[in-house]
Each structure stands twice: as structure tokens, then as C-alpha cells.
Structure 1
């Protein structure tokens, strides 16, 4: 997978631990729940 990402980005990438994606998703969910309207450049439309 890292090779595909590296080829797509045209640069090396760093592989983090197995829980980093889950932590990132949890942080995004927390921000959406708290009412954030823009996350990583994406508009959020959540009641």
C-alpha cells in the first residue's frame, strides 16, 4: 500500500502505527459533534 501511495503522491510517505487512522477518525467525529463546519477543507453539514 505504501508503494501505491508513494507512486501516487510522487514522494515518500511515513507509515504510522495501526491505531493512527482510528484516532484521526475519532478526532474528526468529535469535531463534527462539537459543531465544526469545515474539516480538512471539507464542508460539514451535520445537524
Structure 2
């Protein structure tokens, strides 16, 4: 079973590092952002 995590502030300094760590540990990560452009450098698979 995949663990799911929702991160607010995912495009900030800490949020970005947190998302990278969670993805490396096989979590399914959902992030709240203001714009899709903010997601360019995050290790995510899809934008909803």
C-alpha cells in the first residue's frame, strides 16, 4: 500500500526538500501551490 502525503508550501525552500525526501521514500505526494509554473523543478509525476 502506497502512503499518501499532502504538502502545503511545496514550492518553498523546506517544502521542496521535504517533497524530494518523501518521493525518494516512495510516498505518493500531493502539493498545494499557487501556480503550475512553481512545479517545474519538483520530482512529481503529474499535475492535477
Is the shorter-chain TM-score for this pair beyond 0.5, marking a shared fold? no
Q: Which has the higher contact order (CA 8 A, sep 6+)?
A: 2
| TM-score normalised by the chain length of structure 1 | 0.36
| TM-score normalised by the chain length of structure 2 | 0.36
Which protein is richer in helix relative to its size? 1
